[in-house]
Amino acid sequence: MTPEVRTEADLVRIVETGRGDSAFTNTFLELLDERHPVYRGVGTPAVTRMRGALLLALGHRALPVTALPFVLEELESAHDAWLAAVAAHVLRKYPEPSASFAEPLLSAILYIQHRDEIVRLARYGGHAPDGEATTAMGEIMQTIGWLGRAGEACVGRLEDLLAQEPGPATTAMVRQALEAIRSDSSIAATTHSCCCGEKAAVAAPRGPVRDISDLRFEDHAGTELTFADAFHGRPSIVVFFYTRCDNPTKCPLTMYRFGSLQRITAEQLHLNPVLICSANSAGGVRP
C-alpha cells in the first residue's frame, strides 16, 4: 500500500525512510509522475526539490531500470543546476553505460552550461553552507567519462566546447572526459578486434498493428471526431502537454516547435498537416 503523500514534508519523510530500499521503488516512481496530487498548486522550486530528492533516493545504491526514463528526461530538459547534477550523478549508478545516454547528457550541457552553479547533492534542494560541493557541469562530465567508449558520440561536441575556451575548470573537466572515452575506445579496439567485416543489420521486432481509426477525440469547440476523421490523408502528429508548465525546455518549447513544423510542412511539402494537441485532457485541433 502506497503511503499517503500530500505535502512536500510528507515526501521528505518518505524519502528519508525508504532511501536505498527496493521496497520503496514503486512508491518513488509514482511520486515522480507529474500528475501526482503532491504537485498541485506547488511552485517550480518545490517541484525541483522534490523530484531531485526522489531521484537521489532511487539511485542511492543502484539505479533501477524503471527509473531510467525519469533520469534521462531531466537531462534532456535540464533547467536547474541541482536537479541536473542529481540526474547526472545517479545515472552513474546504472548497472552499465549505454551509448543511448550520450545525447541526453549533451543536451544537459547545452541547457545548463550558462546557468551552472555550486550545489551539494547531500543537501535537500542542493543549497546549504556545508556538505561536499559539486556542480552540474562537473557531474555531467564525470558521467560522460564514465560512459567510456559508449560515449564516442560526445567527442565532437566536447571538442567544440573546448574550442570555445570555456575557462580553466570546464576545460579540465572536458579534457578528462575526452581522455576517458579515448582510452576506453583504444582498449576496446585492441581487445575486441574482429576480422569478420561489417555486422549484419538486425531489424527491431515489431509489435502487432492496431487499427485506431475509430479512436475518438474532442476538438477545441467540443465537437467529437474520430482518428480517421482528423488524420486521414495528411501528415499528423499528436502531443500531450501541461497548460501549467514552468520548464521552458518542455511544453512551451514543444508547442513552439509544433508551429514551426506545421509551417515547414506546408511550405516545403505543400501539405496542410493536422496537429492535435491535448492539454490536461482537453483536446484541440489546429488545422
* Within a domain: 18: yes
Last residue of a domain, one of 189, 207, 233: 189
Alpha-carbon distance of 36 to 277, in angstroms, equals 21
* Within a domain: 205: no
Confidence at residue 276, expressed as pLDDT on a 0 to 100 scale? 52
* Within a domain: 2: no
pTM of the model: 0.70
225 plus 142 within the same structural domain = no
Q: Which three cell numbers stand for residue 99?
A: 551509448
* Within a domain: 179: yes
* Within a domain: 207: no
Q: Are 183 and 149 in contact (CB under 8 A)?
A: no
Alpha-carbon distance of 170 to 140, in angstroms, equals 11
pLDDT tens-digit map of 194-221: 444 444 444 555 567 778 888 887 776 7
The total domain count for the chain is 2
177 plus 63 within the same structural domain = yes
Last residue of a domain, one of 151, 174, 189: 189
69 plus 153 within the same structural domain = yes
Alpha-carbon distance of 139 to 142, in angstroms, equals 5
pLDDT tens-digit map of 172-193: 999 999 999 999 977 766 655 4
Q: Are 169 and 118 in contact (CB under 8 A)?
A: no
185 plus 221 within the same structural domain = no
* Within a domain: 182: yes
Q: What are phi and psi of 105, to 5 degrees?
A: -70, -40
72 plus 170 within the same structural domain = yes
- β-pairing verdict for 274-279 and 236-241: parallel
Which domain covers residue 227, as residue numbers?
216-286
185 plus 224 within the same structural domain = no
131 plus 184 within the same structural domain = yes
Alpha-carbon distance of 112 to 142, in angstroms, equals 15
Q: Are 136 and 88 in contact (CB under 8 A)?
A: yes
Q: Are 107 and 253 in contact (CB under 8 A)?
A: no
pLDDT tens-digit map of 59-88: 999 999 999 999 999 999 888 999 999 999
Summary mean pLDDT of the chain: 83
50 plus 107 within the same structural domain = yes
* Within a domain: 163: yes
Confidence at residue 229, expressed as pLDDT on a 0 to 100 scale? 82
* Within a domain: 201: no
166 plus 245 within the same structural domain = no
